[in-house]
Amino acid sequence: MKLWDKGTSVHQSIEKFTIGKDHELDLFLAQSDIAGSLAHIKMLESIGLLKKDELIILEKELKILYKKAQKGKIAIDIGMEDIHSQIEFLLTEALGEVGKKIHSGRSRNDQVLLDLKLFTRDAIREVTENCSSMIDNLLNKSDEFKDVLMPGYTHLQIAMPSSFGLWFGAYGESLIDDLLLLQTAYKITNQNPLGSAAGYGSSFPLNRQLTTELLGFDSLNYNVIYAQMGRGKTEKIVSFALSNIASTLSKLAFDVCLFMSQNFDFVSLPSQFTTGSSIMPHKKNPDVFELIRAKCNKIQGLPQQITLIVNNLPSGYFRDLQIIKEIFLPAFDELNDCLQIASFAIENISVNKNILDDPKYDYIFSVEEVNKLVEKGMPFREAYKKVGEMIESGRFNPEKKVGHTHEGSIGNLNLDKISEKKKIIIKEFNFGKVEKAISMLTS
């Protein structure tokens, strides 16, 4: 079944090529497609294109299908082109001719646009929840090991004192900034394209504000051409936000792999979190973090892939956009897997509390010694020179303590303020509004 079928058969090889992976990928969109149809038929009834009794039976059947989709019990039959065709077929099979009325006033163009936005909203919420859990674990570890010093590096040379409190907390705050970008992407996503039809509106007196409210959108994509131009653009913007989260995870993974090596010996994982070698019986490999790094580096390529698909398309709909689904929809599961396993591993990571006992790290306290001389009244440049001479002559014997007190330093991590920043950002997503709207629509 094809919604555009006019009785002319398409060559089998052409049909197979043009459908592509839609049978597999459109299942991601099943719940979204049904929720969108529920809002659309309410609007159709409000403008007289459906009778009240038709709306009632359509709503009842669509809600049954929605529950099936929630349980993963919707499949796309052979011969069906996409999820839109499948849902309309199931309605028509159950209810007869009235099932065919749900497409009035919309095109597959704005239907898939809507599906993608509804799906993306939900997917962003799941990523946000996983990010939030990861941040909490990092900040808890930061607090747990706030007094354990470690070397800080510049140019991969030992530089100044750092701490595990700083190290864990840095990645927590980085993910919070990543959430701020994700929130912007969410707000761009959370605009209703339904009613733009094929990109030029409809002669029916559609009530776009009604579907906006029913689906919990913040506002509309008002201009119908721009609504269609948003296909690809929205995915690209969201992919940049996902890429930033992936970048933070990848950097963290690299640090862990480096710090687990025997040359560093800063952190360790339980044996159950590592893998071995088929030839070297001593090996405990950080494969989990190596795979996080690789998967996240792959996700960082997503914006470029989408850009290359859409960057030379003029306004209007083109089938090129279908290919974006193949790389965009699965990316959320991949990133969520990385967030969940990274959070689990960080929760169980151990740190070496005696790193600085090794005299090779003595020099990281050189700045502390310079500052002590400055506090006694010596000009900074003279203090710098004096400590430098002590190091060159082998007379440098520092006190391995730091007294940092300013905001965000070793002795004042401001974890409460970082945590509060996270809470404010998550609250501003306003996920509850969407959850309430969809629940009212589908229950």
Q: Is residue 245 within 8 Å of 196, Cβ to Cβ?
A: no
Q: How far apart are CA 327 and CA 303, in angstroms?
A: 10
Q: Which of 9, 13, 155, 203 is catalytic?
A: 155
Q: Which of 277, 315, 350, 439 is catalytic?
A: 277
Q: How far apart are CA 236 and CA 58, in angstroms?
A: 35
Other Cβ atoms closer than 10 A to 160: 16
Q: How far apart are CA 210 and CA 433, in angstroms?
A: 15
| CA atoms within 13 A of residue 334's CA, in its CB half-sphere | 22
Q: How far apart are CA 99 and CA 91, in angstroms?
A: 5
Angle between the N-to-C axes of helices 302-310 and 224-260, in degrees from 0 to 180, rounded to the nearest 10: 150
| Residue with tokens 């929720």, as numbered in its chain | 35
Q: How far apart are CA 46 and CA 442, in angstroms?
A: 18
Establish whether 277 is a catalytic residue: yes
Q: Which helix (H) or strand (E) holds 159?
A: strand 157-163
Q: Which two tokens stand for residue 328?
A: 């965009």
Q: How far apart are CA 83 and CA 159, in angstroms?
A: 57
Establish whether 103 is a catalytic residue: no
Q: Is residue 425 within 8 Å of 179, Cβ to Cβ?
A: yes
Task: Give the residue numbers marked as catalytic.
Answer: 155, 277
